[in-house]
A and B are shown apart, each in its own frame.
Chain A
Amino acid sequence: MRRAVAHNTALPPLPQQELPSSLTRSRVWAAWGFAVPTLLVLILIAGWPLARTIWFSFTDADLNNLDDYKFIGLENYLVKYDDEWLGLLTDPDWWRSVWNTVWFALVSVSIETLLGMVVALTLNVSFAGRGIVRAIILIPWAIPTVVSAKMWNWMLHDQFGVINDMLQGVGLIATPITWTANPDTALWSVVMVDVWKTTPFMALLILTALQMLPQDIYEAARVDGVHPVRVFFRVTLPLIRPALLVAVIFRGLDALRVFDLIYVLTANSRDTMSMSVYARQQLVDFQDVGVGSAASTLIFLIIALAVIVTIAVGRVRLSEDA
């Protein structure tokens, strides 16, 4: 990141180091004028709640009485009590939910990216009825998550579910699988539903990038007789990488704060609990605003870290290509 910045500033040599002209100054003022309302709204709707949550994480606030709390420092995170370390950072349930979330994000986003790519490449080829197919493929994305989660819950039901019925019908399994109840398959079921729902989103973003690629490169490749697979890895993939990166960051962020899908499919079960489900349980079920806010603060830090790492890795590679 720093390298890219240094590279940019080195390029245009500044003409003079004197005071900016009146035109520049009025432009700067105008720019601030346009930016201030947005900044104000951002501070109000994002900055203030975030600051309040971080503040609450250092207090012993209780949902029952939010006015009466005191500052307790880092006790919600880590405290030594009677020779025993307590607090969020020592809670195995919290670390389990972190691991669940990270695993879920990695697996689901990887599968969605691969499948999304396949779908996008297919839809990029012109064939009869392409417009209709493109519209149809977006349906899972258009259904609200809670609705699709409820729907899948019934489809995955061990006794009445259509999935077990179909698998038994073709003879793949002898006894029904308890998809959402068995700890071994529960998280995979969540991944499966998430893939079903968000692959269209991935495909749409990749398809947009594909449509903007210049056709002459492909014609040149065809004239030179380059194998299509080689064309894909040498031409298509590098060209759509910026768009792909944006799509992966979007989905990654979404996956790290996953709540509704897991809450509807498996409720507060420890085996599948995500970080957001954990924070909600502390905040609402246990009325512990202090620990809940501490968990929310850590979620914020973890997601911020994930974004920084992804962007940094992406930038470095891009500048290497250049």
Chain B
Amino acid sequence: MTRHLTSLAFLAGLAATANAHAVEVSISCSALGQEYEICKQGVDAWAKQSGNTVKIVSTPNSATERLALYQQLLAAQASDIDVFQIDVVWSGILSQHFHDLNAKARGVIDQHFPTMIQTSQVKGKLVAMPWFADAGLLYYRTDLLQKHNRRVPQTWAELTDTARIVQDAERQGGNRDFWGYVWQGRAYEGLTCNSLEWVSSRNGGTIIDDSGDITIDNPKAADALKMAAGWVGTITPEGVLNYTEEESRGIFQAGSAVFMRNWPYAWALAQGPDSVIKNKVGIVALPKGEANGRNAGTLGGQLLAVSRYSKNVDAASDLVMYLTSQEEQKRRAIAGSFNPTIPALFKDAEIIKSNPFMGDLLSVFSNAVARPAAVSGDNYNRVSTEFFNTVHQVLSKRAEPEQALSRLDRDLKRIKRSGWQ
């Protein structure tokens, strides 16, 4: 018996020394476009520095498919992936599967945008570290505004006027398929982002407030939806009701629209060598709802989380802290135009030199609004689905904003009946 115990202890000791020497950590990072290459450079640098090895696991490109895969892996308590790249709205849904990073992040977490920290925390537990940020932006055609002698719009009403004026003039000039403003109106998560911007730019709240109360049934939200429904068929093609990011970019980049709402990724493409609108595009914060409203772009972005079922929690947490550190975020901003989640980096001379537009984005990210994902927890997708379906009905003129919102309020209360989890 004692002999057995000693040999066991010996084996355990062996395992422990092996652990201390080098472990293999696996990370899922998105492989869209150049993301894989830049992620690989980052993890390789950490592997070299720490002496561990890192394996990159490929996951589906579509966000919904990726979430479904994560849920299956985590529900089975699989240890195949140690570090998960997650969307900002998944922290509530997946929180119970992730390791609390509060201890590791002490001292550095405060460097990040407060809204980013807010989406990474669920009930005081730091479930993930902010990796890069995204926010809704207004793209505009500098040449057309100049040609028609209009300034960059400050409010939605001004945007509506300018869009109509430019659209009418361009159509008279022979460009029959020209439109004023394109955005994302398909019944999907993107519509939640778009309409949250219209609502909160008028101080109409964020569907559910931080204490968990449902606030969406208010006159400002109704005004916001009324305004957007008025765009469809006038300054926005009716087909917007089935557009995602790429369909709206298709129209804008073909030179057939003066304004577009999109995420920062569209900038590099609009400025690409084969783009017909190269050097004719500007970006700015989305307009305010009214004079005393606010510029509200919906916050997006990605976080890195450590699985609770990982066999190397310590090494995995170190990798996360390395990848989200100021130096690595700076490298990623320069190499791949990923927007940092650390405000100080937006004033960094080297970053601004390689991405001149990033300096202007600081105010956009500081004012960004977060979707109510952390507060609604497991139910976020349900809340978002009810919301975008309601908005979609108003946009396709099958419901009046006031009635639609009071019905939404009732449906959300029904989902909440046992409290948000």
Contacts A159-B256, A182-B396; is A285 near B381 (CB within 8 Å)? Answer: yes
| Max count, chain A CB within 10 A of own CB: residue among B74, B239, B381 | B239
Is A266 in contact with chain B by the CB < 8 A criterion?
A: yes
Q: Is A221 an interface residue (CB 8 A)?
A: no
Asked if B240 lies at the interface with its beta carbon under 8 angstroms from chain A, I say yes
Query: Which of A285-309 touch B at CB < 8 Å?
Result: 285-287
Q: Which residue of B lies closest to A281 (CB)?
A: B385
A147 interfacial by beta-carbon distance below 8 Å: no
Number of A-B contacts (CB under 8 A): 85
The one of B74, B241, B251, B378 that contacts A159, using a Cβ cutoff of 8 Å: B251
Residues 66-117 of A contacting B (Cβ, < 8 Å): 66, 81-82, 86
Report the minimum CB–CB distance from B393 to chain A (whole Å): 8
Q: Is there contact, CB below 8 Å, between B238 and A181? A: yes
Report if B71 contacts A (CB, 8 A). yes
A contact residues around B93 at 8 Å (CB): 64, 287
Please state if A159 and B188 are interface contacts (CB–CB under 8 Å).
no
Q: Are A181 and B241 in contact (CB under 8 A)?
A: yes
Q: Is the CB of A286 within 8 A of B94?
A: no
Q: Which one of B94, B247, B396 lies within 8 Å of A157 (CB-CB)? A: B247
Query: Within the assembled complex, what's the spacing in Å between the Cα atoms of A158 and B185?
Result: 14
Q: How far is the CA of A86 from the CA of B411 in the complex (A)?
A: 11
A183 touches B396 (CB 8 A): yes
Q: Which residues does chain A contribute within 8 Å of B417, judged by CB atoms?
A: 81-82
Contact indicator A269/B385 (Cβ below 8 Å): no
**Of B188, B378, B414, which one neighbours A287 at CB under 8 angstroms?**
B378
Whether B378 pairs with A158 at a CB distance below 8 angstroms is: no
Contact of B250 among A66, A82, A160, A268 (CB under 8 A): A160
Interface residues in B76-122 (C-beta closer than 8 Å to A): 76, 93-94, 96-97
CB of A284 within 8 A of chain B?
yes
The reply to whether B242 and A64 form a contact with Cβ atoms under 8 Å apart is: no
CB distance from B143 to the nearest CB of A (A): 21
Q: Counting CB contacts under 8 A, is B209 at the interface?
A: no
What are the residues of chain B within 8 A of A148 when measuring CB–CB?
Answer: none
List of B residues within 8 angstroms of A159 by Cβ? 177, 237, 239, 250-251, 256
Per DSSP, chain A at the interface is: loop
Known contacts A64-B71, A267-B186; is-contact A286 B238 (Cβ 8 Å)? no
A59 at the interface (CB under 8 A from B): no
8 Å CB interface, B183-238 against A: 185-188, 237-238
In the bound complex, how far is the Cα of B31 from the Cα of A232, in angstroms?
Answer: 59
Q: How large is the interface on A (under 10, 10 to 19, 20 to 34, 35 or more residues)?
A: 20 to 34
Q: Is B148 an interface residue (CB 8 A)?
A: no
Residues of B contacting A134 in the complex (Cβ-Cβ under 8 angstroms)? none
Contact of B188 among A66, A81, A268 (CB under 8 A): A268
List the A side residues contacting B389 at CB < 8 Å.
269-270
CB contact list, B47-84 vs A, under 8 A = 64, 67-68, 71-72, 74-76
Contact with B along A33-75 (1 / 0, CB 8 A): 0000000000000000000000000000011111000000000
User: Least Cβ distance of B229 to chain A in Å?
Assistant: 14
Question: Is B382 in contact with A286, judged by CB distance below 8 angstroms?
Answer: yes
Question: Within 8 Å of chain A (Cβ to Cβ): is B4?
Answer: no
A269 to B240, CA, bound (A): 14
Q: Which chain B residue shows the least CB distance to A161?
A: B239
Question: B239: which of A158, A267, A270, A281 is its contact (CB, 8 Å)?
Answer: A158
Tell me the bound Cα distance from A81 to B187 in angstroms.
30
Indicate whether B398 reaches chain A with its CB closer than 8 angstroms.
Answer: yes
Min CB distance B1 to A, Å, is 35
Residues on the B chain within 8 Å of A181, using CB = 185-186, 238-243, 396
Alpha-carbon distance A176/B243, docked complex (angstroms) = 15
A178 proximal to B (CB < 8 A):
yes
Cβ-closest chain B residue relative to A180: B242
| A183–B238 alpha-carbon span in the complex (Å) | 11
Q: Within the assembled complex, what's the spacing in Å between the Cα atoms of A180 and B237?
A: 13
A160 and B407 CA atoms in complex are apart in Å by 36
Binary flags per residue of A170-189, CB closer than 8 Å to B gives 1, else 0? 00000010101111000000
- Identify which of residues 377-421 in chain B touch chain A, using a CB-to-CB cut-off of 8 Å: 378-379, 381-382, 385, 389, 392, 396, 398, 414, 417
Contacts of A285 in B (CB 8 A): 64, 381-382, 385
**Residues in A whose Cβ lies below 8 Å from that of B381:** 285-287
Q: How far is the CA of A65 from the CA of B256 in the complex (A)?
A: 48
Q: Is the CB of A64 within 8 A of B239?
A: no
Report how far A178 CA is from B237 CA in the complex, Å: 9
Q: Are the C-beta atoms of A267 and B187 separated by less than 8 Å?
A: yes
Instruction: List, in ascending order, chain B residues with CB within 8 A of A287's CB.
Output: 71, 93, 378, 381
Give B247's nearest chain A residue, CB to CB. A157
Q: Are B238 and A182 in contact, CB atoms less than 8 angstroms apart?
A: yes
Contacts A157-B239, A269-B187 hold; do A65 and B247 have CB atoms under 8 A apart? no
> What is the bound-complex CA distance between A158 and B94, given in angstroms?
38
Nearest CB in chain A: distance from B363 CB, A = 33
Q: Which residue of A is nearest B77, CB measured?
A: A67
What chain A residues lie within 8 Å of B239 (beta carbons)?
157-159, 176, 178, 181
8 Å CB contact of B64 from A63, A176, A178, A284 = A284
Which chain B residues lie closer than 8 Å to A64 at the CB level?
71, 74-75, 93-94, 96-97, 378
Q: Which B residues lie within 8 Å of A158 (CB)?
A: 237-239
Residues of chain A within 8 A (CB-CB) of B396 are 181-183
Chain B proximity of A259: nearest CB distance (Å): 14
What are 26 inter-chain pairs, A to B, with CB distance below 8 A? A64-B74, A64-B75, A64-B93, A65-B75, A157-B247, A158-B238, A158-B239, A159-B177, A159-B237, A159-B251, A176-B239, A178-B242, A180-B242, A181-B185, A181-B240, A181-B241, A181-B243, A182-B238, A267-B188, A268-B188, A284-B64, A284-B68, A285-B64, A285-B381, A285-B385, A287-B378
Interface residues of B (CB under 8 A from A): 64, 67-68, 71-72, 74-76, 93-94, 96-97, 177, 185-188, 237-243, 247, 250-251, 254, 256, 378-379, 381-382, 385, 389, 392, 396, 398, 414, 417
* Known pairs A64-B74, A182-B241, A284-B68 / 11 extra A-B pairs, C-beta < 8 Å: A64-B71, A64-B93, A64-B96, A159-B237, A160-B250, A180-B242, A181-B240, A266-B242, A285-B381, A286-B385, A287-B378
Q: Which 5 A-B pairs have the closest CB atoms?
A: A158-B239, A181-B242, A181-B241, A178-B239, A269-B187
